[in-house]
Amino acid sequence: MNNSSKTRSSDATNLGGKFTFPGTSMTVHRMGYGSMQLAGPGVFGPPNDRNAALAVLRQAVSAGVNHIDTSDFYGPHVTNQLIREALHPYPHDLVIVTKVGACRGADRSWIPALSRQELIDGVHDNLKNLGLDILDVVNLRVGGLAEPSEGSIEEPLAALVELKGDGFIRHIGLSNVTPTQLRQAQKLTEIVCVQNFYNVAHRNDDAFVDDLAAQGIAYVPFFPLGGFSPLQSSLLDAVAAKLQATPMQVALAWLLHRASNVLLIPGTSSLAHLRENLAAAELKLPEEAINQLNSVATNNASSVA
């Protein structure tokens, strides 16, 4: 957490309740904000409207968001520089979670960057572009684009543990990992959060979510509307229509309902969409809707194959 005494407006809503990262004093609202979409098309280059991007960040924090997800490979460098311009000096309770483990090619490709030196460089790039002396949480990003892949993560994680010991990182998380990799990581350091692909239709991590909840570790799903088949999308649309809400709002509300350790980081570059996403934290799902949404995962792509 940051040392600034900067205050925020007093109109903050509940934003899904609060969660404290294990072994820390960092307490955040469960509805956060993901900065990825602030960069240009393909998460590359500057935003189409820089002033709008800055306004979204400032409005999110003004509304009570105190958990921002980012990475210096978004842009690259773009989203961190926007965060610094919009919010520095940071509110004292703002938790900025970043990630390392990839870099961007000139052709906009995503390239693994998991060597010791690449991870060291990535951490220092985050520090510089965010204007910080120490990073709250750094997630080690491994695996494929969306799905984790088994294999040892000991070597890259050791580099982050070293940086934590040197005082550049307060806490460590993991992104795109398996339960086996989490257990391996916990032998080296405390893990405060896991960020994986998960939503109402893509529920491979159901048992993992419950295990992390039992340990008090945050689970941060990405792609809240990713991987839906046409049938699954139609079921979600139907529930949303009944509740007079958007499909995204319903998907986010279901995730908040799923487990108390789930933290959300929906991203947008639009003020209107930001307000819609934050309003999802106030959406109450009746039992009938929850049952319908729980059935979405069973209506998989085999029905349209």
Residue ranges of the domains in the chain? 18-227+262-268
Please report, for the chain, how many H helices and E strands are present, in that order: 10, 11
Cα gap 81→195, rounded to integer Å: 23
What the block records as the tokens of 69 is: 């997800």
DSSP-assigned states of every residue in 21-56: -TTSS-EEESB-EE-GGGSSGGGBSS-S-HHHHHHH
pLDDT at 280: 97
User: If you search the block for the tokens 């900067």, which residue do you land on?
Assistant: 6
DSSP-assigned states of every residue in 103-145: EE-TTS-EEE--SHHHHHHHHHHHHHHHT-SSEEEEEEE-SSS
Among candidate residues 18, 6, 8, the one with its CA nearest the CA of residue 60: 8
- Name the E strands within the chain: 18-20, 27-29, 33-34, 67-69, 95-100, 102-104, 110-112, 135-141, 169-175, 191-197, 218-222
Pick the catalytic residue: 33, 74, 198, 219? 74
Cα gap 8→210, rounded to integer Å: 34
- Helices 247-258 and 287-294 pack at an angle, to 10 degrees, of 90
33 included as an active-site residue? no
Cα gap 201→187, rounded to integer Å: 32
Q: What's the whole-model pTM score?
A: 0.94
Domain 18-227+262-268 maps to which CATH number in 3.30.70.20, 3.20.20.100, 3.30.70.270, 1.10.150.120? 3.20.20.100
Cα gap 154→182, rounded to integer Å: 10
Cα gap 245→237, rounded to integer Å: 9
Among candidate residues 135, 130, 220, the one with its CA nearest the CA of residue 177: 220
pLDDT at 146: 77
- Name the E strands within 234-305: none
What is the mean pLDDT for each group of 10 consecutive residues in the chain (305 residues)?
Answer: 51 83 98 98 97 98 98 98 98 98 96 97 98 98 88 98 98 98 98 98 97 98 94 97 98 98 98 97 97 88 38
